[in-house]
Amino acid sequence: MKLFALLTGLVVFSLALAACGNNEEKSSSKSEDSAKERTVTDAMGHEVTIPENPKRVLASYLEDNLVALGVTPVAQWSVKDGKSTQEYLSSSLKDVPTIPSELPLEAVASYKPDLIILDSPDLAEGGKYEQYAKIAPTYVIGTEQNNDWRKELTTVGELLNKSDEAKKALKEYDQKVKEAKSELEEKASDESAAALWLVGGKFFMVSDNLSSGAVIYGDLGIKEPNVVKEVSSKGDANWLPVSLEKLAQLDADHIFLINSDKESGSKALEDPLWKNIPAVKNGNVHEYGQDASWLYTGTIANKQIVDNVVKDMTK
């Protein structure tokens, strides 16, 4: 019996040692994995050492890309003390806290990011880049105010070790566009369209090669009205101011109207000049609220815009 007890004790002791060894090995492996880093160069020439697999990402204005890649940011862009966000992403970001769009340093630090991604150099001006870099590795995506959304998605995918997911998202978008173009050619061939934004009693027209304009004219190949061409040539912003007098000349079969003035009465829509625009008189104004994706760009925003266009122009 003593011999049996001794042997049993030795077996238990051996198993305990093995378990400790395994735990130490797992802990060591986990530690090594979290310690892995790589160095990348951003659009401004900064050499940035980032985690191999970032876990706490802050990427203001780039949330569309994160959601498309299956990544939840530590905080999401907002204005008006968090009351206004990118509502078209609300189902994916409903539990994500907000951060002011100007990215105050204290707020950024409070979320303890392990990677900060800035959409453009504007967000890094005035020494802010160096201050952000003290909080976490900071990468600037592009040098332009309006970067190509496809390149943005690809770059974000590379930074987060999700290049395959980025390629898949782009492939799915291209397939959706292909199907949409086919349906539009069949049911709305040679029809033209324009996208307008009403805010603060003033109208803005989307540029023909940016934001939703790039989707309408570039991706879907919808006929571009002459007024859109003229207005687009006068500026490089996503949305350009346009007078009612100019809109009276709008030769579009369809108008996609993003109405941010709905709560205040949309008084501009009562103006006789608006009511006499052909598309308005023909009942071809397709209205969307400011919570729609039309004011944004990215894989998810653009897919929603494609769906809206097909629905409205083929009904």
Whether 158 and 193 map to the same domain: the answer is no
pLDDT at 73: 98
pLDDT at 11: 41
Euclidean distance between the first and final Cα of the chain, in Å? 88
The CATH number given to whatever domain includes residue 292 is 3.40.50.1980
Whether 144 and 196 map to the same domain: the answer is no
Contact 203, 271 (CB under 8 A): no
Whether 159 and 218 map to the same domain: the answer is no
What count of other Cβ atoms lies within 10 Å of the Cβ of residue 183? 13
How many structural domains are present in the chain? 2
Whether 104 and 140 map to the same domain: the answer is yes
Most distant CA pair in the chain: distance in Å? 105
Whether 286 and 219 map to the same domain: the answer is yes
Q: Which of 95, 129, 163 is the last residue of a domain?
A: 163
Evaluate whether residue 2 is within a structural domain.
Answer: no
Whether 196 and 293 map to the same domain: the answer is yes
The Cα–Cα gap between 179 and 189 comes to: 14
Q: Which two tokens stand for residue 283?
A: 């009942």
Question: Which runs of E-coded beta strand occur in 119-263?
Answer: 138-140, 193-199, 202-206, 239-242, 254-259
What count of other Cβ atoms lies within 10 Å of the Cβ of residue 215? 28
Evaluate whether residue 209 is within a structural domain.
Answer: yes
Whether 201 and 157 map to the same domain: the answer is no
Evaluate whether residue 157 is within a structural domain.
Answer: yes
Whether 206 and 304 map to the same domain: the answer is yes
Evaluate whether residue 48 is within a structural domain.
Answer: yes
Whether 125 and 43 map to the same domain: the answer is yes
Evaluate whether residue 182 is within a structural domain.
Answer: no
Quick one: which H or E segment has residue 16? helix 2-35
pLDDT at 229: 97
> Would you mind telling me the total number of residues written for the chain in this entry?
315
pLDDT at 24: 53
| pTM for this prediction | 0.87
pLDDT at 23: 53
Whether 193 and 123 map to the same domain: the answer is no
Print pLDDT tens along the chain (315 aa): 333 343 444 444 444 445 555 555 544 444 454 469 999 999 999 999 999 999 999 998 999 999 999 999 999 999 988 788 999 999 999 999 999 999 999 999 999 999 999 998 888 899 999 999 999 999 999 877 677 999 999 999 999 999 999 999 999 999 999 999 999 999 999 999 999 999 999 999 999 999 999 999 999 999 999 999 999 999 999 999 999 999 999 999 999 999 999 999 999 999 999 999 999 999 999 999 989 999 999 999 999 999 999 999 998
Evaluate whether residue 14 is within a structural domain.
Answer: no
Evaluate whether residue 143 is within a structural domain.
Answer: yes
Q: Which of 128, 163, 198 is the last residue of a domain?
A: 163
Contact 113, 104 (CB under 8 A): no
Evaluate whether residue 266 is within a structural domain.
Answer: yes
Q: Which domain holds residue 114?
A: 37-163
Q: Which two tokens stand for residue 156?
A: 């974000």
Whether 140 and 193 map to the same domain: the answer is no
Whether 129 and 197 map to the same domain: the answer is no
pLDDT at 22: 54
The Cα–Cα gap between 296 and 119 comes to: 13
Contact 118, 31 (CB under 8 A): no
pLDDT at 112: 98
Hey, is 186 helix, strand or coil? Answer: helix
Q: Which two tokens stand for residue 245?
A: 């007098």
